A and B are shown apart, each in its own frame.
Chain A
Amino acid sequence: MSGDSPEQIRKETRVYVTVFVALAALTIITVAVSYLHLSGWRAIGLALFIAGVKGFLVAGYFMHLLSEKKLIYTILAFTVVFFGMLLWIPHVEKDGFGTVQRDEVTVPEGEH
């Protein structure tokens, strides 16, 4: 995190306000884009891209992740990996490109 001198803190404050304006503008853009009613993946991709930029601004500046300690980055690296797995697991089941497939799940007799 940045220094604690009054000048530095005032500088940070100006950054916070700028980030707030950017977040507000991106919110307007997100809603405006939704009225274009783009087709499936285009709409999802664009909406999640804008949400990703907003998320970066909040995490990077408000949560100070742009200048944090190594231990926090390590915790978050694990979090990202497990979060990715959470999103991936349903597709393993659904598409059957992994070892777990719904069709293979059988319920033993007498437990119905």
Chain B
Amino acid sequence: MEMEIPYTVHERPDTGLYNGKLGIWLFLASEVMLFGSLFSALVMLRTGAASWPHGYEILNIPLATLNTFVLIASSVTVVLAWASLRLGDFAKGKLYLIATLGCGGIFMIIKAIEYGTKFSHGQFPRTNNFFATYYTLTGLHGLHVVGGMLVFAWLIWPGAKMWLHERQRYINRVETTGLYWHFVDLVWIFLFPTLYLL
């Protein structure tokens, strides 16, 4: 007998939220702790070090700035996708989701170029504490971008079938994925000045 998952569309009376939304917020809370621990380690290493290089002297600011614009653009395309789907315009919603996925791809390509240049200059995680924290934080963030891209790819192609028979549930999935994506953007908003500009 097939059992239906409750409250995937409608809000639970006691929480006022559909379960997916509560779930993603709990997950994001755990993600704050994950990145928080790494930020905390960075603060401890940096304040405890006799000398610490300025990010702008070593890292590529124009590329990182471009990546910031790309990620901000992807954050707006995902909310526009959600808004279009709520208006019943699937074609437009899908287009915005593809744009979001594309922005994620561009972000990762730029990140790969940045990493490639650093590797060619012999700057690896083992080089010093600066590069150890730089690669750990940006690497973990990059993995989150890839994770988000996989979910978007699924929502655009195989998962899009849901639009035909469970429209609101599909819209909710886009909303929860969007919340995750905004969090990834939020982390970058703090990583960018902390690692690159200070």
Interface residues, chain A, with chain B CB atoms under 8 Å away: 4, 6, 9-10, 12-13, 16-17, 19-20, 23-24, 27, 30-31, 34, 43-44, 47-48, 50-51, 54-55, 58-59, 62-63, 69-72, 75-76, 78-79, 82-83, 86-87, 89-91, 93-94
Contact = CB atoms under 8 A, between A and B. Distances in A.
Main DSSP-derived SS at the B contact region: helix
Contacts, number: 120
Contact of B33 (A19, A75, A82): A82
Contact of B47 (A9, A17, A30, A94): A94
Given A23-B72, A90-B44, A94-B47, 19 more contacts: A9-B86, A13-B83, A16-B79, A20-B75, A24-B69, A31-B65, A50-B193, A51-B194, A54-B189, A55-B189, A55-B190, A59-B186, A62-B79, A62-B185, A71-B15, A71-B22, A82-B36, A83-B36, A86-B37
List 5 tightest A-B contacts by C-beta distance, closest first.
Answer: A90-B44, A47-B193, A34-B197, A20-B76, A86-B36
B198 to A, nearest CB: 6
B20 to A, nearest CB: 13
Given A20-B76, A47-B198, A90 B33 contact: no
Using C-beta atoms within 8 Å of the partner chain, give the interface range for chain B. Answer: 35 or more
B33 A62 contact: no
Contacts of A55: 186, 189-190
B95 interface: no
Interface of B: 15-17, 22, 25-26, 29, 32-33, 36-37, 39-41, 43-44, 47-48, 56, 61, 65, 68-69, 72-73, 75-76, 79-80, 83, 86-87, 178-179, 182-183, 185-186, 189-190, 192-194, 197-198
Given A58-B189, A69-B15, A83-B36, A31 B197 contact: yes
Max count, chain B CB within 10 A of own CB: residue among A10, A23, A89: A23
B69 A70 contact: no
Contacts of B68: 27
B15 A19 contact: no
Contacts of A4: 86
B16 A69 contact: yes
B72 A24 contact: yes
A19 B29 contact: no
Given A9-B86, A23-B72, A71-B15, A51 B193 contact: yes
Nearest to B85: A9
12 contacts: A9-B83, A27-B65, A31-B65, A34-B193, A50-B193, A51-B190, A55-B186, A59-B182, A71-B15, A72-B25, A75-B26, A79-B29
Nearest to A83: B36
